[in-house]
Amino acid sequence: MDLTAVRTFVTAVDAGQFQEAAAHLSITPQAVSKRIAVLEKDLGVRLFSRTARGAALTIDGQAFLPHARALLQAEERAAASVRPGHRALRVDVIGRRISVAGLLRDFHRAHPETQLDVVTLFDSDTAIAAVRSGTIDATFRAVTMPGRQLPDGVEATPVLDEPLLLLTGPAHEFAAARVVAPAQLAGRRIWMPGNLPGTEWAAYYDELAATFGLTIDSIGPNFGIDPLLDTIAGSSTLATFVSEQTPLVWPAGYDLRRVPLRDPTPVYPHSLIWRTDNPHPALTALREHLTSAYPGRPDSGVWMPEWAQRARAGTPAAL
């Protein structure tokens, strides 16, 4: 439908006369009549009845009026959705229950006027490609997988180095431990069915396993977090890794234990990735919020993959 004609129709109704409508639209009264005649032809009805005293809405015109106004409002909302400074900031998180989703919620609490469109893309390659193409404004990812580097015009900044915990059931050998060193896990099975090959989190845990001699077992279907917790609760040999800030809820009878890892503490390196020429003002606010909240990584006592350390040091030739 020709929205210019629809706007002319609504303006004519509000103005009360075609001549007044013409003045509002900066066109001639003849142009107003022509646009409305085209609209009437498209609809197959008369919208106005012409009389010596002017034009009055017909019954069909009265019926069409609220829909015409809705069409113009929809047009404005559609334009605002992509207008810089007005559309929602589109941000990708790996999952809505993980810690970086909490960072985004904290930002929204600090900036409640900012509209957010939160999406969940699968892996880092997909997310970074979406940032580069402008499909999304930013993504939270571990930077970056072995042998890869960010495309030109795409940058990253650290926002959270999240410690890992060992999650066990009450019968596991480390259930009563106050802390566990990663080296103590050598030869043990860590069950993580969500570790899919080709993802940045699988690359992280593969290097963790190689460094400390443990086994990441990803065999079996991934039915989600609740079945995983159920299995861990009933096992004396299986444990899994969880992030320190990931909220988990389980039945009291499971008696699951979250045991800190120390000497060193494995940390998962979350970064915010964005395109440098993205003009969205809320992106600047998000970056400033996250940068001010980032405590920085200790110089010692923590572990992360070498490829993540090189990425943080800004040495792309080594990625």
What CATH code is assigned to 3-82? 1.10.10.10
Q: What span, in angstroms and rounded, lies between the C-alpha atoms of 181 and 161? A: 18
What local confidence, expressed as pLDDT, does residue 228 receive?
92
The residue among 298 and 181 whose pLDDT is bigger is 181
For residue 247, pLDDT beyond 70: yes
What local confidence, expressed as pLDDT, does residue 262 receive?
96
What local confidence, expressed as pLDDT, does residue 317 receive?
32
Per-residue CA distances from 170 to 185, 211, 252, 273 (Å): 17, 27, 12, 39
For residue 107, pLDDT beyond 90: yes
Q: What span, in angstroms and rounded, lies between the C-alpha atoms of 221 and 233? A: 18
Percent of the chain with pLDDT over 70: 91
Range of lowest pLDDT (137-146, 169-178, 184-193): 137-146
What local confidence, expressed as pLDDT, does residue 315 receive?
42
CA angle at 32 for the pair 30 and 38, rounded to the nearest 5°: 100
For residue 276, pLDDT beyond 60: yes
Which positions ≥6 away from 120 have C-beta within 8 Å?
Answer: 92, 93, 94, 95, 96
For residue 298, pLDDT beyond 70: no
Q: What span, in angstroms and rounded, lies between the C-alpha atoms of 151 and 129? A: 9
Q: What span, in angstroms and rounded, lies between the C-alpha atoms of 10 and 68? A: 7
Q: What span, in angstroms and rounded, lies between the C-alpha atoms of 205 and 182? A: 12
What local confidence, expressed as pLDDT, does residue 313 receive?
64
What local confidence, expressed as pLDDT, does residue 32 receive?
94
For residue 82, pLDDT beyond 60: yes
What local confidence, expressed as pLDDT, does residue 178 receive?
96
pTM value is 0.68
Which positions ≥6 away from 250 have C-beta within 8 Å?
Answer: 226, 229, 233, 256
What local confidence, expressed as pLDDT, does residue 86 receive?
67
pLDDT tens digits for range 190-228: 999 988 888 888 889 999 999 999 999 998 888 888 899
Q: What span, in angstroms and rounded, lies between the C-alpha atoms of 14 and 20? A: 9
Percent of the chain with pLDDT over 90: 55
Residue type, 242: V
Tokens representing 227?
Answer: 């079945």
What local confidence, expressed as pLDDT, does residue 76 receive?
83
The yes-or-no answer to whether 89-161+268-318 and 162-265 have a common fold is yes
What local confidence, expressed as pLDDT, does residue 146 receive?
55
Return the CATH fold of 89-161+268-318.
D-Maltodextrin-Binding Protein; domain 2 (3.40.190)
- Bridge partners of 150, per DSSP, are none
For residue 144, pLDDT beyond 60: no
Q: What span, in angstroms and rounded, lies between the C-alpha atoms of 68 and 104? A: 38
Q: What span, in angstroms and rounded, lies between the C-alpha atoms of 98 and 245? A: 7
The residue among 5 and 77 whose pLDDT is bigger is 5
For residue 37, pLDDT beyond 90: yes
What local confidence, expressed as pLDDT, does residue 312 receive?
64
For residue 147, pLDDT beyond 70: no
What local confidence, expressed as pLDDT, does residue 198 receive?
80
Q: What span, in angstroms and rounded, lies between the C-alpha atoms of 259 and 24? A: 71
- Hey, where are the domains in the chain? 3-82, 89-161+268-318, 162-265
Mean pLDDT of the chain: 88
Long-range Cβ contacts of 285-288 (<8 Å, 24+ apart): 285/107, 285/111, 285/114, 286/89, 286/91, 286/107, 286/114, 286/138, 287/157
Q: Please state which architecture CATH assigns to domain 162-265.
A: 3-Layer(aba) Sandwich (3.40)
